[in-house]
Amino acid sequence: MDMFVFGLPGSFGVFQTYYLNHPPFNAASEATINSIGTIALALECVAPLPQI
């Protein structure tokens, strides 16, 4: 459970760097890539995964 709470939001910077440097996402602006991380974090807080 801790991985979903702390791991995924904390590691988005790694994915952000990848998205900015590799196709097909390298054509997108940095603000667009940043909004993906923001929306993903918001969805995780609003609709959390069910506990197993």
Say if residue 1's pLDDT is above 60: no
User: What value does the mean pLDDT take over residues 33-52?
Assistant: 77
> How many structural domains is the chain composed of?
1
Which residues are CB-neighbours of 8 under 8 A, at least 6 positions away? 40, 44
17 domain-assigned:
yes
Q: What is the pLDDT of residue 43?
A: 79
Say if residue 26's pLDDT is above 70: yes
Range of the domain at 14: 2-46
Q: What is the pLDDT of residue 3?
A: 61
Q: What is the pLDDT of residue 2?
A: 61
Q: Is the pTM of this model over 0.75?
A: no
pLDDT one-digit tens code per residue, 27-42:
888 898 888 888 887 8
